[in-house]
Amino acid sequence: MPNQNFVERFVRSRVVRLSLAAMLLALSAWAFLPYLTSRVASSAFVNAELVRVAAPIAGRLAQDLPRKGDFIEQARTTDLVQMLAPDQRHLLDLGRDQTIASERAELARKQIEEIKQADQELAARTDAFRDGVIRRIGSEVAEANAEKIGCQAEALQRRDIGSRMEQLAKSGSSSQIRTAEALATQEATLTRCGMAEARAQRLAIELESARGGIYLRDGVNDVPYSQQQRERLFIRRQELEGEFQRENLKSAQLAAAIGEEGERLGRVGKYNVSLPADHVVWSMAASPGSTVIEGQFVMDLADCGHRFLAVELPEREFERIKTGDQADIRLVGGNVWSRGQVRQVRGSAARGDDRLLAAQVLKQAAGSITVEIALPEDALPAGQNNFCGIGRLAEVRFPRSVAGLPALVSRALHWITGGSDGTVAVADRSDH
């Protein structure tokens, strides 16, 4: 009983009741203060634009594609799709032409080797022929010189006989006829000696010419048949060497073209995608390793580096919210307040946003505006969770100017006391 009386007296105490009333008023003021000092958004959530990746060619997706929810910290390039049956007709044509050029070059090389062997044999035959001709003409020169020597000796003898016959004819011991016959025989011998000397000179000329490779005998060309064949083979070898060089050059050019075509097929046969940094794989429309067609949607990447808050405010706040204004942001479930910057404001009658966005944007209600606020990095780190916090709700406050607070209080008092609409409207216009 004494305890109950004490509690009753404590509750009925004027000080306690005044303290409780003061606490309730302070709590109400603390709860209502943000609505006086700031414009509080009715709804706000984190959003980000999407980068859509589609297959540029028909083929098979790579096996090492990132999975849904993977965060890409640094930009990298990865295989996206590989063509199943690339068109290799041009590459096959180049390979066939290179094979033909190589075979022609090899055939020309073999013919050149055979011509070299034949040329060596013909050169040996030509040398043997020249040596034989030189030896034969040398023997004929020796015969001609011997004949000339013998003829000269006979000419001396005939000269002596002729002189003696002339002396005998003068002395009357011999007839004039026999003397004339002796003189005629002497002249014939001298003529034969001249012929022998001329023959020796001719043979010497032929010998000198044969040593130089030119043959002057009747029925023989200036060079033998072997040498003529060598000259024809020389011309043919030059033609084959030119053909060999052309085919080798063509083969080298075709090899370079084959390499370039192979690289082109490698580039065309597969497609590499550049994954930007600070993005998260938001959705996958096809499994890695599956077959896709040209233009088929493969994946969406959410831009975590440029996230923003989609904030809904009443239409009457349109003139008070401008691009570049600051706003206080606190994500629901967190205790840290940060500051963001308004980047665009869209009225209620504006067309719907046709951008690819990660979070679903509801149809804008009549009489409301949509404000986008850039989300600072310190508010929510991009790699903190799998999807960068996209879709998370937030509390957003737009600070009011100090000059507008009295007008706001006056408007609130008029509204509480049932003031006229015109007075409220005046206070509303003077708020900013």
Question: Residue 352's pLDDT band (boundaries 50, 70, 90)?
Answer: low
**Integer Cα distance of 316 and 368 in angstroms:** 8
CA distance readout (Å), 79 to 65, 76, 233, 267, 353: 7, 10, 59, 11, 32
Specify whether the CB–CB gap between 174 and 165 falls below 8 A. yes
Total length of the chain? 432
Asked if the model's pLDDT at residue 432 lies above 50, the reply is no
Question: Residue 165's pLDDT band (boundaries 50, 70, 90)?
Answer: low
Q: Is 198 a member of any domain?
A: yes
Return the pLDDT at 109: 92
**Integer Cα distance of 389 and 329 in angstroms:** 14
What CATH number is associated with residue 193? 1.10.287
Q: Is 284 a member of any domain?
A: no
In the chain, the largest separation of any two C-alpha atoms, in whole Å, equals 219
Q: Which of 82-86, 119-123, 139-143, 173-177 has the highest mean pLDDT?
A: 119-123
Q: Is 245 a member of any domain?
A: yes
Q: What is the span of the domain harbouring residue 100?
A: 90-251
pTM for the model: 0.53
Encode pLDDT of 204-225 as tens digits: 888 888 787 777 765 556 677 7
Q: Is 102 a member of any domain?
A: yes
Specify whether the CB–CB gap between 398 and 39 falls below 8 A. yes
Encode pLDDT of 53-82 as tens digits: 998 888 888 888 888 888 888 888 888 888
Closest C-alpha among 44, 41, 40, 39 to residue 362: 44
- Segment 153-164 shows an average pLDDT of 74
Question: Residue 415's pLDDT band (boundaries 50, 70, 90)?
Answer: low
Q: Is 127 a member of any domain?
A: yes
Q: Is 63 a member of any domain?
A: no
Asked if the model's pLDDT at residue 420 lies above 50, the reply is no
Q: Give the SS3 label for residue 158.
A: helix
Specify whether the CB–CB gap between 77 and 52 falls below 8 A. no
Encode pLDDT of 223-280 as tens digits: 777 778 888 889 999 999 999 999 999 999 999 999 998 888 777 777 888 899 889 9
**Integer Cα distance of 404 and 41 in angstroms:** 18
Q: Is 174 a member of any domain?
A: yes
**Integer Cα distance of 347 and 266 in angstroms:** 51
Q: Is 381 a member of any domain?
A: no
Number of structural domains the chain divides into: 1
Return the pLDDT at 202: 81
